[in-house]
Copies of this chain bind each other. A is one copy, B any other.
Amino acid sequence: MHGYDKYAFEPFAVTVDLAVFTLRAGALHVLLVERAQEPYAGRWALPGGFLLPTESAETAARRELAEETGLTDVSGLHLEQLRTYSEPDRDPRMRVVSVAFAALLPDPPEPRAGTDAAEARWTPYDTAGPLAFDHDRILADARTRIGAKLEYTCLATAFCPPEFTLGELQQVYETVWGTVLDRPNFRRKVLATPGFVEAVPGAARLTGGRGKPAALYRAGTATALHPPLLRPTPEGRPA
């Protein structure tokens, strides 16, 4: 009701937490930092930090992303607000409300330790053991969201370098979904969606692979997929 004068209100600490994903060696990895202090000292956690007085949660998230990854330019990276976690007991010391974000990186740069000297590391999603605070849940929520958005958006290109092959794009889907897709059908679908990808004219090849060299593509201008690219139905999927 926004009647500040009439209501006492509790001040809260507000933080951002980041679930930063990348693809490495065909597996989904997430950026984790090791906590140096109590509580949860020695445990791994999602990178994050406090909002500064003059920045929005989005600004803070992008700042933290730059700090943790060591990337100088994070302006083009995909960063999206997930949701806010505000359970009263999520931090044992005090009341902390955290705005969680999911970020996607194409090429995995080596992380550097954050300013608090904690160690940072890319960790396979499946072995991201029990994390500090409620970060297990945040991470799971982030993965769910990313997987779902692959179906009806062009988000997959955010995992890819500026120029990529359709095989690499397909690997994004297969890795995040944990499924195998039919290659000709995937091609047909991607190429039939206007604005999803656009061919690089000088049809170049790629890495010194074995078979026929693949054509290169760039991310197109479209952001939504109509109709969507639904993942193979592992039977009636709940919500």
A7 touching B81 by the CB < 8 A rule?
no
* Chain A residues within 8 Å of B, Cβ to Cβ: 1-7, 9-15, 33, 35-37, 45, 47-58, 64, 81, 83-84, 86-88, 93-95, 97, 99, 114-116, 118, 132-133, 152-153, 194-195, 222-224, 226-228, 230, 233, 236-239
Distance of A33 Cα from B3 Cα, bound (Å): 12
A86 touching B14 by the CB < 8 A rule?
yes
Q: What residues on B are CB-neighbors of A153 within 8 Å?
A: 239
**What is the CB-to-nearest-CB distance from A5 to chain B, in angstroms, rounded to a whole number?**
7
* Integer count of this chain's copies in the complex: 2
Most buried by B among A86, A116, A230: A86
Distance of A11 Cα from B48 Cα, bound (Å): 17
| A50 with B14, Cβ < 8 A, contacts A37-B3, A118-B1, A233-B226 known | no
Distance of A153 Cα from B148 Cα, bound (Å): 12
B238 touching A88 by the CB < 8 A rule?
no
Q: What residues on B are CB-neighbors of A4 within 8 Å?
A: 13, 93-94
Which 7 residue pairs of A and B lie closest in terms of their CB atoms, listed nearest first? Answer: A11-B11, A223-B239, A9-B50, A57-B86, A224-B239, A10-B53, A3-B116
A50 and chain B: residue at smallest CB distance: B9
A93 and chain B: residue at smallest CB distance: B4
B45 touching A2 by the CB < 8 A rule?
yes
| A9 with B1, Cβ < 8 A, contacts A54-B88, A86-B99, A230-B226 known | no
**What is the CB-to-nearest-CB distance from A56 to chain B, in angstroms, rounded to a whole number?**
5
A1 touching B57 by the CB < 8 A rule?
no
Q: What residues on B are CB-neighbors of A84 within 8 Å?
A: 57, 81, 83-84, 99
A51 touching B14 by the CB < 8 A rule?
no
Distance of A115 Cα from B1 Cα, bound (Å): 8
| A2 with B48, Cβ < 8 A, contacts A14-B12, A55-B88 known | yes
18 A-B pairs within 8 Å (CB atoms) are namely A1-B64, A1-B114, A2-B37, A3-B37, A3-B118, A10-B53, A11-B11, A11-B13, A12-B14, A12-B51, A51-B97, A54-B88, A55-B88, A57-B84, A222-B239, A223-B238, A226-B236, A227-B230
Q: What residues on B are CB-neighbors of A33 within 8 Å?
A: 1
